[in-house]
Chain A
Amino acid sequence: MTTMTPSSFTTDETAPSSSVSVPRIDQPTTLSSDVVANAAGALRDDVGALSDNVAALHGESLLIQLEARTDEAAKRAPKDLLDELASLGFSWTGIARLVGVSIPALRKWRNGETPSGDNRRNLAQIVAFVGVLERDHLITDVASWLEVPLAGTNNRALDLFAAGNVGDLLEYAAQKLESTELLDRAIPSWRAELDDQFEVFEAGDGERAIRLRANSPAE
């Protein structure tokens, strides 16, 4: 049996250039299983690296797009930006959390006071983020989308935005990440929350209450 060494592979120089070249076999031969496995593994590594690079490029481009939209939104009056968010169904608590200010501060802006440059840009970024999700990712109710708990936890997209995970959220909105992958990136310890010993339930009077889980381990 003839064993083909890796040097027996050559690339087709006349083929159109691309980042990954498919090896061409020059002569009829029988490949050993080791060589095939090695070649396939190397090819897979190349494709994986390429995929990672493309994902990073896409993530960067989403942030660049958001920055451009933020520049546009920042030209508008803060009061208009607040009114738009409120009309979309955002709560003042939610807006305050997203911007990183207090609710009284928002009330002052609504009454005409001028926010600092950083706060004004943060406010514009929220409006831009909403626009990107509505127009490019077809999310029709962004206020609700931001408030729904993720993957059975108490963590919401709103909390992740407030914590600065805007790029990850854009990828999630673009359906390039699952909710669990999003949480892995943003809150690596999030699975510990699922081991909580307490649960919320509806009590006999119809109101919510808290109790120990029935199968909670004794300490």
Chain B
Amino acid sequence: MSLEPAADPERLYLAVGDDVNDARPIFTGDIFREIEIPGVGTAPAIVIAHPCSIRGREGALQDRIPVAAVAEHQSHPAKNWSSGFYDRMPLPGLPLDGPFHVAKLAMFGLASTNELVGAERVGCLSEPGINQLQQRLVFHLTRLEVPASKFQEAFDHTYEEAELLENWATDLADIDDQPAASFETWIREGSPSRQERLLDHAERAPVRRELRDEVKLRRQAD
């Protein structure tokens, strides 16, 4: 086994540049144009926090979120990233100066969440991109090589929940100014809660249908 090779932008990103959905909540793998990273300086930055640790009680973002600096870098063949550059995550095709960038996984710090919320987001990693980021981060910090597919298996319910929150925030943007909080209340309803049901693949489509119904009800009630 070896680390994942560098991915094409089409596979690596959920969205870049103008395609980034402003209503998407801050999530692992989000890339910002310029952030003050304590101990590092001001630089483009990528959120490296694990999805489970970004939010606290009632869905509120933590006051500070771990980010790593993003910097321009020389491009290398995709396969070279499988067996080297372990302290870097390849980020080709970002709308920043230069054609090729990396996340510098040794240059990280706790960024202010308030600053992140107001900053320009230039890209969001896709699920495979987040898996690759976590694989490289774990290997850099611990020298433990975990298959990227294991991150998908373990945490795909958090990706699912992030997409639901994005849909919720997008579809209710004009009538709900605290979508993360209202979503958190809704997703925790029931026994088992909708959040717990997301752990079961067979329950995800029913939860998505419930969300669509709930959005319709709230829009009709407004």
Contact = CB atoms under 8 A, between A and B. Distances in A.
A102 B205 contact: no
Nearest to B196: A206
A91 B163 CA distance: 8
Nearest to B205: A89
B151 A210 contact: yes
A78 to B, nearest CB: 18
Interface string B142-174: 000011011111110101100100010000000
A41 interface: no
Contacts of B147: 196, 198
Contacts of A92: 163, 167
Interface residues of A, number: 28
B212 A86 contact: yes
Interface string B69-102: 0000000000000000000000000000000000
B204 A208 contact: no
Interface string A177-219: 0000000000000000100101010000001111000000000
A69 interface: no
Contact of A141 (B14, B154, B206): B206
A90 interface: yes
A86 B163 CA distance: 13
B202 interface: yes
Contact of B163 (A93, A143, A147): A93
Contact of B209 (A87, A104, A149): A87
Contact of B212 (A87, A144, A147, A207): A87
Contact of B205 (A90, A149, A198, A209): A90
Interface in B185-222: 199, 201-206, 208-209, 212
Interface in A50-64: none
Contact of A91 (B52, B155, B199, B208): B208
Interface of A: 86-93, 102-104, 107, 141, 143-144, 147-149, 154, 156, 193, 196, 198, 200, 207-210
12 contacts: A88-B205, A88-B209, A89-B205, A90-B208, A93-B159, A102-B14, A103-B15, A141-B206, A144-B203, A198-B147, A200-B150, A210-B150
